[in-house]
Amino acid sequence: MRTLKRVLAVSALTVPLVIGAAGLASAQEGLDASWGQGQFIANQNGAGVAGAESSVSPDGVSHADFWVWSDDTGVSGAFTGSGATWNQG
């Protein structure tokens, strides 16, 4: 049962990675550069997921990274995000 909970937790936590990758795939005209990386693990010690992404587009720049870990002691994690947009008007 504990393994099932861990797998469900990791599965639910990977959704932001998938959504973020889909958002990066919809490029606009002009300058566009992006990078993304993700990792996950589920074993007898616990389950976790981590990811990072950066992008530059005609609208601005952004960066985000996060990690989440779940084991017998509970769930912990962190998120960092930053960005800037500009008006090309």
Report pLDDT digits (tens) over 19-70: 555 555 554 467 789 999 999 999 999 999 999 999 998 889 999 999 999 9
In a domain, 88, yes or no: no
Q: How far is CA 56 from CA 11, 15, 31, 60, 79, in A?
A: 28, 22, 7, 6, 20
- In the numeric block, which tokens belong to residue 24? 């990066």
In a domain, 7, yes or no: yes
In a domain, 52, yes or no: yes
Nearest in space to 53 (alpha carbons), one of 43, 41, 42, 62: 62
Q: Is the pLDDT of residue 10 over 60?
A: no
Please, which pLDDT band fits residue 15 given cuts at 50, 70 and 90? low
In a domain, 69, yes or no: yes
Whole-structure pTM value: 0.60
* Residue, of 87 and 70, whose pLDDT is higher: 70
Phi, psi of 15 (to 5 degrees): -55, -45
How far apart CA 57 and CA 3 sit, in angstroms, is 40
Give how many domains the chain has, as a whole number: 1
Phi, psi of 27 (to 5 degrees): -75, 150
In a domain, 89, yes or no: no
In a domain, 20, yes or no: yes
How far apart CA 32 and CA 69 sit, in angstroms, is 32
In a domain, 77, yes or no: yes
Residue 45, domain extent:
2-26+33-83
CB 70, CB 50: distance < 8 Å: no
Question: Worst-scoring range by mean pLDDT, 6-15, 35-44, 67-76, 79-88?
Answer: 6-15
Residue with token string 């993700």: 38
